[in-house]
């Protein structure tokens, strides 16, 4: 019990420090609020949006941000066929080995591979981004207060700095980023991608689509978890009814 109390106290302290740090970085702002099909008790992922979001990630975000907790084979859960998953994986190259001669070699990606890092190491990433280290996006939706709404707001929050605001060198103004100054330039622009299904590639649409994809990446088993939870609740309700009926039967002759 003492260990449990200590663990809970440490977790509460960490959460308090994280929130305090975020508040100290800049004034809190109200995030945009969008409707997400996958939220709520019975929500499921919008697979068409998630597939478009994958395209946005690969064509826009993958040049700087890794997704190193997601394997290509899991894309089958978004409706991609086995051949499509193999083709998507094969577009990336991975170092493997050693071979029989003891040498490392490069090979096309396979479904069991995870999305490759855009940089060889952290120093290379910082050198290419003015000293800033682009975070991995595998769990980004779960790692920020506001979850989907934060990410969506951030990507659509690039505006001109208010009069009198002085930006530090290399920084960009974002209405929803703590402190409002962010090293990442606006990642999205009108028609940055060409959707195969003909959906207009507006900044708002791309931001929503990639947010849905990254929400799935952060919790790919969300639908299974909800289904299991519903089954457990129904089971408990059924058993409660049976136990109540049994109790009434057993004690029916007691006055």
For the stretch 174-220, pLDDT in tens is 999 999 999 999 999 999 999 999 999 999 999 999 999 999 999 99
| Per-residue pLDDT at 27 | 53
The verdict on 182 and 203 lying in the same domain is yes
- What count of other Cβ atoms lies within 10 Å of the Cβ of residue 78? 21
- Domain count across the chain: 2
The verdict on 225 and 154 lying in the same domain is no
| Per-residue pLDDT at 28 | 58
Radius of gyration of the CA atoms of the chain, in A: 24
| Per-residue pLDDT at 40 | 86
Residues 116 and 94: beta-carbon distance below 8 Å: yes
The verdict on 179 and 65 lying in the same domain is yes
The verdict on 173 and 200 lying in the same domain is yes
The verdict on 66 and 131 lying in the same domain is yes
The domain of 234 spans: 220-249
For the stretch 37-93, pLDDT in tens is 999 888 999 999 999 999 999 999 999 999 999 999 999 999 999 999 999 999 999
The verdict on 197 and 234 lying in the same domain is no
pLDDT band at 247 (very low <50, low <70, confident <90, very high): confident
| Per-residue pLDDT at 22 | 42
Buried b (16+ CB within 10 A) or exposed e, 6-17: eeeeeeeeeeee
Average predicted confidence (pLDDT) for the chain: 87
Question: How buried is residue 135: exposed, middle or buried, by Cβ count under 10 Å (0-12/13-18/19+)?
Answer: middle
The verdict on 208 and 153 lying in the same domain is yes
pLDDT of 25 > 70? The answer is no
């Amino acid at each position: 019990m003492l260990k449990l109390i200590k663990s809970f106290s440490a977790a509460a302290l960490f959460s308090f420090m994280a929130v305090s740090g975020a508040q100290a970085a800049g004034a809190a702002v109200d995030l945009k609020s969008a409707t997400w099909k996958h939220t709520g008790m019975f929500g499921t992922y919008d697979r068409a949006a998630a597939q478009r979001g994958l395209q946005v990630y690969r064509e826009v975000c993958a040049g700087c941000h890794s997704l190193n907790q997601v394997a290509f084979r899991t894309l089958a859960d978004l409706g991609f066929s086995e051949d499509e998953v193999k083709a998507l994986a094969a577009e990336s190259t991975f170092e493997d080995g050693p071979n029989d001669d003891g040498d490392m070699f490069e090979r096309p990606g396979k479904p069991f591979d995870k999305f490759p890092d855009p940089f060889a190491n952290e120093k290379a990433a910082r050198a290419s981004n003015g000293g800033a280290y682009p975070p991995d996006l595998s769990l980004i939706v779960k790692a920020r207060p506001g979850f989907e709404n934060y990410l969506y707001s951030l990507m659509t929050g690039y505006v001109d700095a208010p009069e009198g605001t002085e930006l530090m060198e290399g920084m960009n103004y974002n209405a929803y980023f703590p402190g409002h100054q962010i090293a990442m330039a606006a990642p999205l622009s009108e028609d940055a991608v060409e959707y195969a299904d003909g959906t207009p590639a507006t900044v708002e649409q791309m931001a929503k689509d990639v947010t849905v994809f990254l929400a799935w990446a952060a919790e790919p088993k969300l639908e299974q978890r909800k289904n299991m939870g519903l089954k457990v609740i129904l089971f408990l309700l059924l058993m409660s009814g049976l136990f109540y009926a049994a109790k009434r039967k057993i004690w029916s002759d007691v006055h």
